[in-house]
Structure 1
Amino acid sequence: MARTVARVIVDALQELGVRHVFGVVGDALNPLTEAVRTTEGVDWVGCRHEEAAAFAAGAQSQLSGTLGVCMGTVGPGSVHLLNGLYDAAKSRTPVLAIAGQVPLAELGSDYFQEVDNDLLFRDVAIFRATVTSPDQLPRMLEAAVRAAISESGVAVLTVPGDLGERELTEDRPARFPHTRPVTRPDEPGIRAAADLLNAAGRVTLLVGRGARDAHEEVLALAERLAAPMVLTLKAKEGFEGENPYQVGQTGLIGNPAAAHALDGCDTLLLLGTDFPYRDWYPTDCKVVQIDLQERNLGRRVAVDAGLAGDVAATLRALLPHLDGVADRSHLDAARKRFEEWRTGQQQLADPAHDHRLLGRLRSALDNRSHDVRPEALAAAVDACASDDAIFTCDTGMATVWFSRFVTMHGGRRMLGSYNLGSMANAMPQALGAQLWAPDRQVVAFCGDGGLSMLLGDLMTIKTYRLPVKLVVFDNRRLGMVKLEQEQAGLAEFGTELDNPDFAAVATALGLTGIRVTGPGQLLDGVRRAFDTPGPVVLEVLTNPQELAVPGKPTVQQGWGFAIAKVKETLQSHQS
């Protein structure tokens, strides 16, 4: 018996090892969801918003390194997938989106809910096509999956609502043979980079997630060159724990030690990173860059030697050509600064900080309501979370506190919207992560603005009984926007949030809600959240005036904050 279009698609997903399909049901998807319902090992996860479905599929793809799958029905259902799919595209992770469409005969007639999906997804998808005949399968599906996996991106396959039930006249199983090539530069390129590094005095490494499969080679390189290792945020996973060379992050979330390590080098070696913030790169130094994507070479900063290739394979070829460096003063100075900075951060993270003399003076200026310091909350979560926890993190100030106070040791994993910078990603990514790893602890660092944007999918977490721990930094603000306004010398405007009691909302939805309103309740509240079985929303009222000082603050930023605070004071007196 010939199979239907829907059956061919879902059988292929099963063959690929896809375990979950995320989406919202709709009439155009009915043949596909019925095929999922009747397929062992492939489960439908009904979300409350298609954006959450796309984020969850992208999370599973990033964690597994394989294909994530989501679906959206005709028109608005497909449109709602866009933001989560953009996040997957910017994160360079393979996701297949199946989009419903109006009946085949009505295409192009401005039919009810009709949207041109091939045009809609043109910018986000590396492959997009509409199935117009059953006999286009399975070849069209194979092309979509191959594109998503081989190019680490999004593929969108649109299926008209009346086509899913139609049978193929010539049926065969879908086939997905795929091996990843391992590339490395040629020998002259290797030798040129080695000559440049051997002539260097002080080398600093800037390591990105593209080097995550080259852990041993990168550490051997740092030892050979006596080089401090600055990490991008995404390189925390894999390079932060048990690494005697790392000095934390750079950029606005960074620290003085990393800034000094970069500014003090005469040669910068970029490994698997496309770090986008040009102002944070050092000047007047030689630059060597190794990246699998040739188009990334020299994109952010001019390079003296650019090597296109797999980082691990390239370093294995490069290391034998490198002389050892006896002078470790550059590395030792950077590490000393880093440890001093970390000691200061630990003092800030102590819940009793505001009871000491300096803390009392500080709180009189910036925390008169005696809210919880967000540093203390992040540090408490770090201490309570398991060694193999999976963390997701909202964009904004939650990312700052996560980057500074959560250590990625052991088998910990991390996800965030680190390239797109979307709001509302942490909770749906946690949803996907917990389904992917049901026996592991999943912790979401949620901003209050982010959580409220997709609040409805708390019900998805409840429906599927997912034991995620949602930690809400409730500062009643869009905190990063506030910081950006004040840094520019502008008074805070439009950032205040009239929040509900998130813990009470969680309780009303059938989840456990815990609310912490002061520093004295913090440690007990965090421990209760982690000790409580099932899903928990831990809402903590954090200080809205907390300031995250960048690793290399400028005079202009200082004046900006001073001017902003004067404007805000005058504004409060006038209201």
Structure 2
Amino acid sequence: MPTVASLLVSALADHGVSTVWGVVGDALNPVTDSIRREDRIEWIGVRHEEAGAFAAGAQSQVTDRIGVCAGTVGPGSVHLLNGLYDAKKSHTPVLAICGQVPRAEIGSDYFQEVDNDRLFSDVAVFAQTVMTPEQLPSLLELAVNTAYARRGVAVLTIPGDVGGAEVPGDAADLRFVEQYPPGTPAPSLVQRAADALNGRKVTMLAGIGAREARDELLAAAEELAAPVVLSLKAKEGLERDNPYQVGQSGLIGNPAAQYALEHCDTLLMVGTDFPYPEWLPSGKTVIQIDADGAHIGRRTHVDLGLVGDAAATLAALQPLLAGPTDRAHLESSRERYTSWAGRQEALADPDHDRKATGRLRRLFDNPDHAIRPEQLADALDRHAADDAVFTTDTGMPTVWLSRFVTFRGTRRLLGSYNLGSMANALPQALGVSATDRTRQVVACAGDGGLTMLLGELITAVAHRLPVTVVVFDNSRLGMVKLEQEQGGLPEHGTELANPDLAAVARACGLHALRVEKPGDVDDAVVEALAHDGPSLLDVVVNADEISLPPRTSVSQAWGFAVAKMDETLTSRGGS
């Protein structure tokens, strides 16, 4: 007769789950022992449960199947929260298996007791405690099915005296749902959308929800002569071979994308829940296509909302599009994008600061001729595989990747782009690598993010996960520094006293390199990517690199100048 733990594990294995991430502990012992005896599932012991939740969420995002993590009683479950919030904000299904004190002690303020159902009530679409063995089949089905149906986190709590208990023999076999088929809006709504698009200057804003609608989106862009602004997460499916795309908007964006948004008549949003309304234009006719009706109109006023699958909706819309009589809006937006991209590319040249065009800027922001982060990101783009998976830490690594790494081939991109957590890049890379150890996985880490969960370097070695960790090491919390300076404040509290991170990585068992000169970057990137096993590349980059958003107010520019002057005076002993 199966136990609660063995039935749980075998049902997950039957569903195709291949890894469970967590830290072992007493209440979880029946579960981890069942995993030990189940050849189809690998237990990956992380050094912090938060990393396990990040890894499970990353696996879910690249496979579109449920990811699984675990935390034992009290603190072990609490530690899962940040990674689970990232899964929630990324709309990806994850199951968290949590331990609990024995049933008789629940409610007595027992050692390490935490009310998990209450603790996870905000992050989870489903959170229940298995109080009897008979409940396990139905509660597990509900947990997994709800996580799929609502694209979120399910939490199943198992008290210490329940996991090893036998499940009655008449318990029904477990069955998990498959994905729901996509829908299409009513034909009358599709016709209204076509009427609002035809004969107008149109800009499209495409998100991750349009990734599987690539052909349909490109066809619509051609018919409408519409520039396409991509959200960061949409780069992986919609950037390659796209003659309409003009890059990103928002803090990481560029002036061409902002021009395209501000100079259109009609904005067509497809599969995006773009979270920064201040970057969206006003006074436009707005049409939004999204599979989740709750996303319609929550970032900006929407004149017409179409609830449906992006590919099916665009396919229904295309025959009704008449197209504009001129392509000036598209051509002007693309010219601006090409010009901006060329100026950015010049910064990736290791000799940029020695050339006439770079000398003046070097005096202002790079007097020591340090490695510019643009050069490192460009080298990654040129040398990484066409099917590489990139993860990025929140902050400046995301900026440099968004501007310099192109998503040709079948490259994928993950990050904490909705939650905005630090320390996500390494554990997400581990999750992807465990899914397919033959695929190149590159974690673009900040020094602040990496050192927050530094122990997961040991996880990479212990479980033979061949990730390449590339550290943009500027001894700063770089994005916070930039925010302070744009507000007219000199940087404060952002400096990091880093060790030699390559030396730390070697002590953990990784192949590691440290680069401090621009001329050494390319060879080091090639070596790190080619290593058969986990590797780390610690690149000391310019701490004062300027990365202004596409739309900078006079007050922001003035504040930046004042802050830089104050920093310079302070560094020289001024007051």
TM-score tier by shorter-chain length is over 0.9
Q: How does 1:46-195 map to 2 (within 5 A)?
A: 46-169=45-168, 170-195=170-195
Secondary structure of the residue aligned to 2:31 is helix
Paired with 2:310 and 2:450, the residues of 1 have a C-alpha distance of 37
CA contact (8 A) 1:103 1:162 kept: yes
CA contact (8 A) 1:24 1:71 kept: yes
In structure 1, the partner of 2:519 is 520
Paired with 2:530 and 2:25, the residues of 1 have a C-alpha distance of 38
CA contact (8 A) 2:148 2:179 kept: no
Paired with 1:302 and 1:128, the residues of 2 have a C-alpha distance of 34
Q: How does 1:401-550 map to 2 (within 5 A)?
A: 401-550=400-549
In structure 1, the partner of 2:39 is 40
1:315 aligns with 2:303: no
CA contact (8 A) 1:208 1:274 kept: yes
Q: Give how far 1:360 is off.
A: 2.4
Q: Give how far 1:574 is off.
A: 4.7
Q: Give how far 1:358 is off.
A: 2.6
Secondary structure of the residue aligned to 1:52 is helix
CA contact (8 A) 1:226 1:326 kept: no
The amino acid across from 2:174 in the alignment is A
**Bigger shift: residues 270-279 or 44-53:** 270-279
TM-score (normalised: structure 1): 0.98
Q: Give how far 1:33 is off.
A: 0.2
In structure 2, the partner of 1:288 is 287
Q: Give how far 1:24 is off.
A: 0.4
The amino acid across from 2:509 in the alignment is G
Q: Give how far 1:471 is off.
A: 0.3
Q: RMSD across aligned C-alpha pairs, in angstroms? A: 1.1
CA contact (8 A) 1:47 1:460 kept: yes
In structure 1, the partner of 2:16 is 17
- Aligned structure 1 segments of 4 or more residues deviating by more than 4 angstroms: none
Paired with 1:571 and 1:238, the residues of 2 have a C-alpha distance of 46
The amino acid across from 1:173 in the alignment is D
The amino acid across from 2:290 in the alignment is D
CA contact (8 A) 1:3 1:171 kept: no
Q: Give how far 1:38 is off.
A: 0.3
1:277-326: per-residue Cα shift (whole Å, max 9, x none)? 11211122211111111111111111111111111111111111111223
The amino acid across from 2:330 in the alignment is L
Paired with 1:110 and 1:557, the residues of 2 have a C-alpha distance of 51
In structure 1, the partner of 2:263 is 264
1:458-517: per-residue Cα shift (whole Å, max 9, x none)? 000011122111000000000000000111111101000000100000111111110001
The amino acid across from 2:559 in the alignment is G
The amino acid across from 1:461 in the alignment is A
Question: How many pairs were matched up?
Answer: 573
Paired with 1:294 and 1:237, the residues of 2 have a C-alpha distance of 24
TM-score (normalised: structure 2): 0.98
Q: Residue 179 and residue 474 in structure 1: after superposition, are their counterparts in 2 closer, same or farther (change >3 A)?
A: closer
Paired with 1:541 and 1:302, the residues of 2 have a C-alpha distance of 44
In structure 1, the partner of 2:355 is 356
1:254-282: per-residue Cα shift (whole Å, max 9, x none)? 11111111111011100011112112111
CA contact (8 A) 1:267 1:288 kept: yes
Paired with 2:556 and 2:357, the residues of 1 have a C-alpha distance of 23
Which ranges in structure 2 are unaligned for 5 or more consecutive residues? none
Secondary structure of the residue aligned to 1:99 is strand
CA contact (8 A) 1:394 1:423 kept: yes
Q: Give how far 1:199 is off.
A: 4.2
CA contact (8 A) 2:129 2:158 kept: yes
In structure 2, the partner of 1:6 is 5
The amino acid across from 2:515 in the alignment is V
1:43-70: per-residue Cα shift (whole Å, max 9, x none)? 1001111000000000000000000000
Identity across matched positions, percent: 60
Secondary structure of the residue aligned to 1:249 is coil
1:11-39: per-residue Cα shift (whole Å, max 9, x none)? 11111100000000001100000000101
Paired with 1:566 and 1:361, the residues of 2 have a C-alpha distance of 16
